């Protein structure tokens, strides 16, 4: 079960990283400030979880869990900025691409920060499973 949680978290981080690179490099979407912060939290998880899976490191949750929980909070806040009009006045993006902008809006609710939130949530759940199974 431990290996499955590590593998699932690692694959999720790889998909999240590749998705963000696809949106910026292939689709030409310029990341906003909050998107960059989410990338800063997600990209190291690819390497941390990959090494943990390779070494069967059951203690990696100590390092990954704070990053993934903070990523959940940040992406949740970013999603709220996009979907709740009254939140626009609390935006931290003051230059460049506005954080309230939506490059994609699939099914009326799936945006890039929403995808980021799902990725961080899956990784957080995987790390909680790892912690409980330790």
Q: What pLDDT is stored for residue 56 in this prediction?
A: 93
Q: Where are the domains of the chain?
A: 2-133
CATH topology of domain 2-133: Bromodomain-like (1.20.1550)
Tokens, residue 71: 């990523």
Residue 127 phi, psi dihedral angles, 5° rounding: -70, -35
What is the share, in percent, of the chain residues with pLDDT greater than 90? Answer: 84
Q: Output the pTM of the full model.
A: 0.94
Cα separation, 7 vs 69, whole angstroms: 18
**DSSP code of residue 118:** H
Is residue 93 predicted with pLDDT exceeding 90?
no
């Amino acid at each position: 079960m431990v290996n499955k949680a590590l593998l699932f978290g690692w694959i999720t981080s790889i998909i999240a990283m590749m998705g963000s690179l696809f949106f910026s490099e292939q689709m030409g979407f310029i990341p906003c400030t909050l998107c960059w912060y989410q990338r800063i939290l997600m990209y190291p998880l690819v390497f941390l979880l990959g090494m943990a899976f390779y070494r069967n490191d059951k203690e990696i949750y100590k390092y990954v869990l704070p990053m993934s929980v903070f990523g959940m909070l940040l992406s949740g806040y970013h999603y709220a900025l996009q979907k709740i009009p009254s939140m626009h006045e609390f935006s931290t993006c003051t230059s460049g691409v506005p954080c309230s902008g939506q490059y994609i809006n699939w099914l009326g609710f799936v945006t890039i920060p929403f995808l980021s939130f799902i990725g961080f949530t899956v990784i957080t759940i995987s790390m909680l499973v790892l912690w409980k199974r330790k």
